[in-house]
Structure 1
Amino acid sequence: MGVSPNQLLQMDSLDKAARDSKEGKMMEDELNVLTFLKENEPTMVPAYQLSLARGRRGILNRLVSAMLREDIMGLVSYSYDLYVIGAIHTLNVPSIDEHWQKIIQTLHTYGLDSGRSYKIYSLSESSCIVIPVSRTYAFNRLEVAGKILHVSEKGARRLEHAVEFLQLIRSKENTNGGNGYDWTRLALELMNGSANLALAYAFWLEKKKKLREIARKQDIATTFDWVLLQKKLDPDFDASLFFEQLSVEGHNLHPGAKTKLGMEPKDVLRYAPEFNGEAAIQFAGIRKDYAEFAFIEENTKDVNEFLFTEYPTLRKAVEQEFTARGLRVNDFIFVPVHPWQLKNAIPVIYKQEIEEEIVVPIDGFQVPGGATSSFRTVVPFKNGGVPKHAIKVAVNSQMTSTVRSISANTTNNGPVFTRIIRSIMQQESELAEKFVPICECAGFNFKLKKTDMNHLKSRNLSALLRENVESFTAKDELAIVGSSLFSESPITEKIIFAELIETYAKVIDETSLRRAAFRFISEYVSIALPGFLTLMVKYGIGLEGHLQNSIIIFKDSRPVRMLFRDWGGARIFTDRLPVANVKKEFYPGSVTVTNILNEMHNKVFYTVFQNHFGELVMQACKYFGLSERDLWQEIYRICERVFADLESLPEYKENVRVDRKALYRPEVDHKALVKMRLAPAGKDYSYATVPNPLHEFWKTEK
């Protein structure tokens, strides 16, 4: 098959980017950031330039780790293992022929780290990639740490940027006839993410310096002591938001963790949480015949009254503007809008509707707030009291794998799901003491007419109001989003999790940090698992319980409750829900509702066990030398305790049997994050099959 001119152009653009990286040139996204900083934030320029290499390697390592886990292009199955001990290089190839002799000699000359393992992947008869793998954790999570090398007839050189790696792997695809992968699209995302990660590192250097200086003056030794002190000193200090904004690294597994396509550097620096991002939420009116809404109270008629009660001065701003325009307030529904969205997306997507006054942006009112780890969810500042709701708004920019608009399914199902969860929690009063829903109270969206095929319109003027995390914490408690447990502490420069274990050990009077870490994880999982498993077994609800959706409440460094939020990604197996006698009226065509049991299982197993617990276990092994097997055995023990309690109820015995068998199967599906980005646009989720660490213990018992 021939290559089209467009394909050739794309291939050339990736080749050029790889050449620029090899020659030490900056990528276009990096240059854009640097130009912006020179003109607007000149004091950040030196830190950004120093952070460029770190940002590039951070994304490169995450990319390679994900591609190894997914075995893309046979990166694992067709590679060889090299072990280096001093000057001895042991390679598990069938025979050390002339080709391998040259490779080993080149690596000898370059000098590899002793005591390290490497994956060697052949690209051709004369070249290969050498990947340092420090350890392989559960679910085939390979930790890539060190220099990734390209070895050729010219010698060995270190790869500095993700596009160099992609270009080399793509050359292998071209040789083998091709898989139809979209390498260029992924390259553009990674170039953008690398530039943004470098900017995040640069900002963090200064932020950390300032916070450490404040802590020194206040004689504070840990992040937790510092945050608790701020809560005492400043009634407007938002402790949960502080932890949300420690998201320097972003998603723990995704190579696109810092991708923000379509956003200029000034927007990233202004709005993203890792830059202490602030967003003044604005509003737009949608004429009622073009609007949809949903509320917790099913019989709510005056939807605007809900917002006017929450934001009293909004009413005055709307009435003034609508009177000037000759419009009736009661003919419209008002929707929160992100300021970036209002400036960049709304005028384009709703151009005709604005001209016809179907959509009316409101100028005279704003709700200032701080960006959470999810960027598009903004928490209004306290200003004398804890706001009732956080505001989740649409942002038409790709972040990780998804354009962060909000579907009509999500806005309409949020309050429906809230009613279901609240009904369940009334029945599960003991569970509700430690496993607490953050409810979605109201949803709004532009209603697409049947004759209009522009689906951007149904997703980009939409919003959800969700309960505010800070309202769930007492004065002596801290709410920490799960993803920030593994962020760097600005006070000690350890990760928050390590700092937490050290404090926890003192609280429980444990001299061994290893034993303290094990006990901490056991307590943590004992709080989280009963909720996730009970909702799955009894009600068919598979929550998307990854780190960003899970907020842990700590008191004296001990986990005491877990909050769970963001239900747009949940999967409900409908055959089980009727048992709860819960009224369910989901939006037509909702992906939330499924009649495929495996979809519900995969949602729980991937987000809770692989993303959430997998990270917890890995960090405990890295920082405290714990046995990974021992930790998974403890998680298995807790699973069995929950299953045993559920199995004692005759009506759920069969569900337990089915779910237990699925949870403990030898291999489980892992969301293939890179393969989805390489696949042609529009393709559904892709999965890779990975070994299940829980299977061993079930197999032993049987």
Structure 2
Amino acid sequence: MNKTLRPERIAHTEAALAVHAPDLVPGFLAALPEAADTVGRRLRGALVREGLKDMGPGTRHGFGRVEYATAGVDDPLDMLDGLDAPGFAAEIRNAVMNLAIALARPHPVPGDHPDEQIIALERLAVAGHNLHPCGRTRLGWDTGDVLAHDLEAGRTRIGFVAVRADLHIGDDVYPEIGKPSGYAVQPVHAWQRDNVLPVRYADLLRTKALVVLDDEREAVPTAALRTLLLPGTGDYLKVSLDIQVTSTRRSISVASTRNGPAVSKLLHDLVDDDRLLLMAETAGAAVPAGSGRDLSAIRRDGLGPRLQPGERAIPGGALPLLLGELVTGDPADWLRAYGELVVPPLMRLTAQGVALEAHLQNCLPTFVGGRPHRLALRDFAGLRLHRPRLAAAGHTVDLWPGSVVGTDDLDVFRAKIGYTLFQAHLGELVLRLPMDEADAWRIIRRIVDEHVTGEDHAAFTAPQVPHKALVRMRLAGHGDLYVPVHNPLHAPA
């Protein structure tokens, strides 16, 4: 019997693996203690950081972060005692099982294309999101689905649905497939096609308003799962996938499909820094039937063709794991160069009314000889646009009605970039670099002092700043929630 988790929580997954991939069973069982401890350490730190429970002394860091050497319990669910968290408990359990599967699986051999090399690096961050305890939650998939479609599978499939033209909103996202007369063609994740469409859209399938086509294409899953690399095209395709990963079901709103190309154009108009690379969303479409979220798709530019000789792109999620390779000299000098790469352009965009969701998962810094060179940015669905600032800068953008990305609230606007850039992104690097943390934050503070002014400077260097409370959000079951945390950027440089 495994000593880390109660046997009833292991038996179902072990039995499924015995059917689908019996060779993985020993590795899965051996990986369970590490998986439980990884999820447990993140949960333990989040419970303390968000003021939910006293979990004992740990190592304290900037922005209220608390790190623990171990989870302190064999089963992470024991930490939820006293909390009303039945749904969250299922998410934690699912995360542990799937992380153990991922740890047991061999990594696929990557292709030669630069974007496939980028995805291979994403697989290094096997635990997923660097702060969320549920980085490996895949609620809605069974074990067979995880084996077929998760990041470690290396390949998945895209299917296609002919959509009666009057039910289709947006662009021709996949023109490589011919359209039957009177129809548009919409790409769909093979799992979504096989498991969601027959249940939710039986009437539309029966009346031929939707027609499942025989065509399929191979695709490479990224860490985002619903975003897939299209081999041979240099493009990515983001498709609806109605499973829960971390805090969110990964379907896509109509608004995201229509806003993506418009926001990409706005960003191109605003960005005049040749050190920024925008992975533009070039086309988007949806089918506003049912929930309106199940058949959405967005086409995105790849990065590979734009890289220079000797330039290496590293997905942000893998960056903390590669610092030992990249930082061969003075870590303070490296951090200064990295901070100068990311902070000034993102703060300029903020001043003009664009708060990007600049956490590690959306950023791909590039390096030449280990030195920070350029910054690629992707996935603009989670940003916030401050309409008064955009107007003052002489810009407008035509957003889909009711879009949450547009706001007049400066606190909401600043919280988006402040949390993702300084806490989730730079905070992770500061934690991992071999240098004094106070010295590291002084370096970032000097960059902020040089490039940020006025009320933005006051907000980003305030004594306390809002921290996105990931566990509180799961317990509440809806919306973004923030808690105040101590700001290491408050100390003068």
Q: Give the structure-2-normalised TM-score.
A: 0.95
Corresponding pairs, count: 493
**Which of 285, 310, 323 pairs up with 1:476?**
310
Q: What amino acid is aligned across from residue 209 of structure 2 in structure 1?
A: I
- Counterpart pick for 2:19 among 28, 33, 39: 39
- State the partner residue of 2:160: 283
Instruction: String of CA shifts for 1:323-361, please: whole Å, max 9, x gaps.
Output: xxxxxx242221111111111111112111111111112
Deviation per CA, 1:336-395: give whole Å up to 9, x if none.
Answer: 1111111111111211111111111211x222121111111000123xxxx242000010
Query: Alpha-carbon deviations, 1:144-189, whole Å to 9, x = none?
Result: 11362xxxxxxxxxx211111212x33xxxxxxxxxx4x1000011
2:443 matched to which residue of 1? 634
Q: Verify: 1:694 aligned to 2:489, yes or no.
A: yes
2:226 to 357, 373, 376: 376
**Alpha carbons of 1:583 and 1:574: their partners in 2 closer, same or farther (altered >3 Å)?**
closer
**Preserved contact between residue 444 and residue 462 of structure 1 (Cα < 8 Å):** yes
Q: Give SS of 1:392's match.
A: strand
Instruction: Tell me the distance in 1 between the aligned counterparts of 2:200 and 2:268.
Output: 36
Cα separation, partners in 2 of 1:357 and 1:676, compared to 1, 3 Å? same
Cα contact 2:219–2:229 (8 A) shared by 1: yes
Task: Flag the structure with larger Rg.
Answer: 1
1:395 aligns with 2:246: no
Equivalents in 1 of 2:462, 2:4: separation in Å? 48
1:59 and 1:256 in contact (8 A); partners too = yes
The equivalent residue for 2:6 is 25
Tell me if the contact between 1:553 and 1:561 (Cα under 8 Å) persists in the aligned partners: yes
CA-CA distance at 1:276 after TM superposition: 4.0
Secondary structure of 1:441's counterpart equals strand
Q: Which amino acid aligns with 2:473?
A: M
Match of 2:174 in 1: 307
1:237 is displaced (CA, Å) by: 8.1
Q: Shift of residue 47 of structure 1?
A: 1.1
Contact 1:543 1:567 in 2 (8 A): yes
* Contact residue 465 and residue 485 of structure 2 kept, 8 A: yes
Q: In structure 2, what is the equivalent of residue 238 of structure 1? A: 116
- The structural deviation recorded for 1:235 is 6.0
1:357 to 2:195 alignment: no
Partner of 1:143: 67
Deviations 1:247-270 (A, max 9, x none): 311001101111000101121122
Q: Tell me if 1:336 matches 2:316.
A: no
Structure 1 residues 663 and 367: CA distance shift in structure 2, 3 A: same
Following TM superposition, by how much is the alpha carbon of 1:35 offset from its aligned partner in structure 2, in angstroms? 1.5
Matched residue type, 2:335: I
Residue 261 of structure 1 contacts residue 397 of structure 1 at CA under 8 Å; is this kept in 2?
yes
Shift of residue 39, structure 1, vs aligned partner: 2.3
- The yes-or-no answer on 1:165 pairing with 2:79 is yes
CA contact (8 A) 1:571 1:600 kept: yes
CA distance in 1, matches of 2:319, 2:5: 35
| Structure 1 counterpart of 2:183, one-letter code | F
| 1:462 maps to which of 288, 296, 305 | 296
Give the whole-Å Cα distance in 2 for the aligned partners of 1:235 and 1:678. Answer: 42
**Matching residue's letter, 2:280:** C
1:85 maps to which residue? none
Task: Provide TM-score, normalisation by structure 1.
Answer: 0.68
CA distance in 1, matches of 2:462, 2:5: 47
Structure 2 residue identity aligned to 1:558: R
CA distance 1:147–1:595, shift in 2 (3 Å): closer
Q: Of 496, 504, 525, which aligns to 2:322?
A: 496
Alpha-carbon offset, residue 37 of structure 1: 2.2
Distance 1:244 1:472, change over 3 A: farther
**Counterpart mapping for 1:13-92 below 5 A:** 25-28=6-9, 30-72=10-52, 75-76=53-54
The alpha-carbon deviation at position 498 of structure 1 amounts to 1.4
Identity among equivalent positions (%) equals 31
2:94 corresponds to 1:192: yes
Moved more, 606-615 or 245-254: 245-254
The aligned residue for residue 420 of structure 1 is: 266
Q: Which amino acid letter does the alignment assign opposite residue 421 of structure 1?
A: L
> In the alignment, what sits opposite 1:616?
429
Deviation at 1:280, TM superposition (A): 1.6
Shift of 1:447: 1.9
Give the letter aligned to residue 261 of structure 1.
Answer: L
Q: Note if 1:292 corresponds to 2:169.
A: yes
Would you say the 8 A contact 2:92–2:137 is kept in 1? yes
Distance 1:586 1:23 in 2: 49
3-state DSSP of counterpart to 1:248: coil
Query: What amino acid is aligned across from residue 216 of structure 2 in structure 1?
Result: Q
Report what 1:591 is aligned to: 404
CA contact (8 A) 1:245 1:371 kept: no
| Cα distance change, pair 605–45 in 1 and its aligned pair in 2 (3 A) | same
Listed as ranges, the gaps of 5+ residues in structure 2 are none
Classify 1:358/1:423 alpha carbon distance in 2 versus 1 (closer, same or farther; 3 Å). same
* Deviation digits for residues 505-532 of structure 1 (CA, Å, limit 9, x no counterpart): 2xxxx4xxxx2x2211111111111111
Alignment partner of 1:269 out of 113, 138, 147: 147
Q: 1:236 to 1:67 in 2, by over 3 A?
A: closer
In the other structure, the counterpart of 1:525 is: 339
Q: Residues 49 and 334 from structure 1, CA distance in 2 versus in 1: closer, same or farther, beyond 3 angstroms? A: same
Are the counterparts in 1 of residues 4 and 74 from structure 2 also a CA contact under 8 Å? no
Question: 1:43: how far off?
Answer: 2.0
* SS class of match (2:491): helix
Give, in whole Å, the separation in 2 of the partners of 1:147 and 1:394.
34
Match of 1:673 among 462, 470, 486: 470
* Structure-2 residue corresponding to 1:125: none
After superposition, the Cα gap between the structure-2 partners of 1:345 and 1:551, relative to the gap in structure 1 and judged at 3 Å, is: same
- Please give the alpha-carbon distance, in whole angstroms, between the structure 2 residues aligned to 1:65 and 1:147: 9
Aligned-residue offset at 1:277? 3.1
Contact 1:32/1:265 (8 A) holds in 2? no
Residue in 2 that maps onto 1:101: none
1:236 and 1:417 mapped to 2: Cα distance?
A: 26
Q: CA deviation at 1:202?
A: 1.3
**Amino acid paired to 1:277:** G
Q: What is the distance in 1 between the residues matched to 2:71 and 2:130?
A: 20
CA distance in 2 between partners of 1:500 and 1:694 (Å): 25
Matched residue type, 2:288: K
CA shift digits 1:27-72 (9 cap, x unpaired): 44x3232112222322222111111111112111111111110011
| Aligned residue in 2 for 1:226 | none
**Quick one: distance in 2 between partners of 1:589 and 1:359?**
27
Unpaired runs of 5+ in structure 1?
Answer: 1-19, 77-118, 120-130, 149-158, 171-180, 212-229, 294-302, 319-328, 449-453, 487-494, 644-655
* 2:365 pairs with 1:552: yes
- How far off its partner does 1:132 sit? 5.2
Higher helix share: 1
What residue is the counterpart of 2:282 in the other structure? 441
In structure 1, distance between residues paired with 2:113 and 2:103: 30
Q: How far apart, in 2, do the equivalents of 1:469 and 1:32 lie?
A: 40
Cα root mean square deviation, aligned: 2.1
Which of residues 250, 254, 267 in structure 2 aligns to 1:404? Answer: 250
